[in-house]
Amino acid sequence: MKKTLLFTACCLLLAMGTFAQIPALERVEPMFWWVGMHNPNLQLIVHGDHIASRKVELSYPGVKVVAVHKVENPDYLFIDLRIFSGTVPGTFPIKFKKAGEKVITYNYDLKKRDASSGRAQGVTDKDLIYLIMPDRFSNGDTSNDSFANMREQGIHRDAMFGRHGGDIQGVMDHLDYLKDLGVTAIWLTPAVENDEPHASYHGYAVTDHYKIDPRYGTNALYKQFVEKCHAMGMKVVMDLVHNHAGTEGYTISDMPMKSWVHQWPKYTKSNFRDAAVMDPHASPADRKQMLDGWFDQRMADMNENNPYVQNFLTQNHIWWVEYAGVDGFRLDTYPYNDPVYMSKWAVDVKNEFPHFSIFGETLVWSAANQAFFTEGNTVNRGFDTHLPGVTDGVWKEAVYDALNANEGWTEGVNRLYAVMAQDFLYKDATKNTIFLDNHDMSRFLSVVGEDMNKYRSGMAMLMTMRGVPQMYYGDEILMKNFSNPDGLVRSDFPGGWKGDKLNKFTAAGRNNAENEAFNYVRKLANYRKNTTALQTGKLMQYIPENGIYVYFRYDDKKTVMIVYNSRDKEQATTTTRYAERINGAKTAKNVITDEVVNVANLTIPGKSTLVLELIK
């Protein structure tokens, strides 16, 4: 209890330079910028010992100092610049002057924007996303395993919440494996610095927004990673955390102002109840605790009503896109953010990068709750979120019901049908990211009891339903475990470390069941990659009958029929009911086996799914 009170006091009392000695000019962020941005305004955050006591001077054609803001903490200045259209790239000094003391100079770079094709291109329903926790995937560079100046030391692969040493180079070393699997987009959990004393591997307690964690690599290496992915025909999703920041970051340990984070008389957690945001009858106190409560004692809740915080976050995210060329953002803990700010943020990002894609994490319990956060749902809100899509956890739960539960009027496979029928709630449900598991939940294989028929059926639905499919690393080689404790679902990919007994990146290192699973996923993923009907085609579904659920994906090139038998025993069925969509086809190719079958009469094993390409 004493530790909790001490921590709360340290975090909630404004620490004006009392945590550590800092240089006269510790940092300027963004450290450089670009000419020709849609928004001509730029706000620099300057941190240094009593930097507010100095006068700011700069002179560069096309750049004007609009305002210099002093705030509560004298170790900060916020400088508003306007960069006019036509300003040429170059370097100019920003001088910080004080009578009787040496002038401090920072040489600021304005760069030319990179107009190369393939940058910030967006991740769409044409893609298959592969989610990786870098620390747990592969250690490609042992020289960056640990740093003496960081709070968490060493590699401890036997500790669930310790650092294991995986890094960006390790991901780059296995891009051929991912491309062969059929992956077209890679989502890394946050790779920016998390210099926390414990469990810093997960990345969600950022301590330096502008710096890749040194244990993962460097900013330059991250940029090379994106460029290599693009050269191989793959995209990159960057994971962002607006809602909170690690307590060891400089803006938290030496806050610019008390209102930088949400303050409470004592440590107060979020109630984690998203309904309080949308409930027309909600208590204001409940809503405030949902939005302003802290996610964790090591994750300070950012005050997104503060315009300085808004500029800091938005400019940082735009900086990463322009610097590295990433293609999309996944937004962590989306419902906990200030809704009005997030709407403005989305507009600001899209103004700079029109083809860029965004999806928000919304682990909620109903389609209506999910849809509330997406663009177009403006009733009783007074604004549009401009959020194109969400992580479709409701779809995931419905698939689990279809695979594991007995059928009923609204249970089992009928739940999946009903969830799909609620797509009318979204402006465009195809922008939702569908998934079977991720780093925060039990692995799919374990949830279906390691039943291979259920595993294959779930993977078939993932690859053939509407939306942007996302896999979790290792699902293709039957990695398993439950989420309590979380560390078990974040196990290392076998073969990613020198000296691993088995290398499951290769067929020789996998057992028969693992190779069967890998080849099944690979076949489906690459078929999807080359079949527009499964990417952007229309969807038609039929009410399940006798436990059999049928849906079609189709366009003017192909029609794919998906048939799932939710019962435990094999079933034979006629297909006359689907004649309007079969449209006269007599035969079809089984996408997995390449066998040609008679469409009129089908036999489906228990808990199994057929993926059939109709032959005209």
Q: pLDDT tens digits for 120-172?
A: 999 999 999 999 999 999 999 999 999 999 999 999 999 999 999 999 999 99
Q: If pLDDT is split at 50, 70 and 90, which confidence band does 484 have?
A: confident
What's at 414, amino acid-wise?
N
Query: Tens of pLDDT along 158-193?
Result: 999 999 999 999 999 999 999 999 999 999 999 999
- Number of helices followed by number of strands (H, E) in the chain: 17, 28
Cα–Cα dist 121/483, whole Å: 34
φ/ψ (deg, to 5) at 213: -55, 125
What per-residue confidence (pLDDT) applies to 47? 98
The answer to whether 332 is a known catalytic residue is yes
Reported as a single tens digit per residue, the pLDDT across 341-358 is: 999 999 999 999 999 999
Class of domain 127-232+432-530: alpha beta
Predicted confidence (pLDDT) at residue 19 exceeds the cutoff of 80: no
Percent of the chain, pLDDT > 90? 95
State the CB neighbour count (10 A cutoff) for residue 516: 15
**Domain 537-615: CATH superfamily, name plus number:** Golgi alpha-mannosidase II (2.60.40.1180)
pLDDT-based confidence at residue 486 (cuts at 50, 70, 90) = confident
Q: What is the pLDDT of residue 199?
A: 94
Q: Are 533 and 559 in contact (CB under 8 A)?
A: yes
CA gap 45, 57 in Å, rounded = 15
Q: Quick check: bond before 354 cis, omega within 30?
A: no
Contact of 584 with 565, CB cutoff 8 Å: no
Q: Is 361 a catalytic residue?
A: yes
pLDDT at 282 over 70: yes
According to DSSP, residue 450 is labeled T
Specify whether the backbone of 154 is left (phi greater than 0), alpha (psi in -120 to 50) or beta.
left
What mean pLDDT do residues 491-506 have? 97
CATH 1.20.1200.10 fits 14-111, yes or no: no
Question: Tens digit of pLDDT for each residue in 399-439?
Answer: 999 999 999 999 999 999 999 999 999 999 999 999 999 99
Which amino acid type is present at position 1?
M
Exactly one of 361, 375, 437, 476 is catalytic; name it.
Answer: 361
pLDDT band at residue 20, thresholds of 50, 70 and 90? low
Q: Is 120 exposed, middle or buried (0-12, 13-18, 19+ CB in 10 A)?
A: buried
pLDDT score of 85:
97
Distance in angstroms (rounded) separating the CA atoms of residues 361 and 349: 18
Residue 266 corresponds to which tokens in the numbers above? 């004592």
Q: What pLDDT is recorded for position 9?
A: 39
pTM above 0.85, yes or no: yes
Collect all residues with Cβ–Cβ distance below 8 Å to 223 and sequence separation of at least 6.
Answer: 323, 324, 325
> Residues 293-302: pLDDT tens digits?
999 999 999 9
Q: Which residues of 122-141 are buried (b: 16+ CB within 10 A; e: fewer)?
A: bbbbbbbbbbbbbbbbbbbb
Mean pLDDT of the chain: 95
Q: Which of 125, 304, 332, 407 is catalytic?
A: 332
Mean pLDDT over 477-492 rounds to 93
Residue 8 has what pLDDT?
Answer: 41
- The SS3 call for residue 180 is helix
The domain ranges of the chain are 14-111, 127-232+432-530, 537-615
All residues at 6 or more sequence positions from 475 whose CB lies less than 8 Å from its CB, including other chains? 436, 437, 443, 444, 445, 459, 521
Q: How far apart are CA 508 and CA 578, in angstroms?
A: 43
Is 127-232+432-530 in the same CATH topology as 14-111?
Answer: no
Please list the alpha-helical segments (H only) found in 325-389.
339-352, 367-372
Q: Please determine, for residue 492, whether its predicted confidence score (pLDDT) is greater than 50.
A: yes
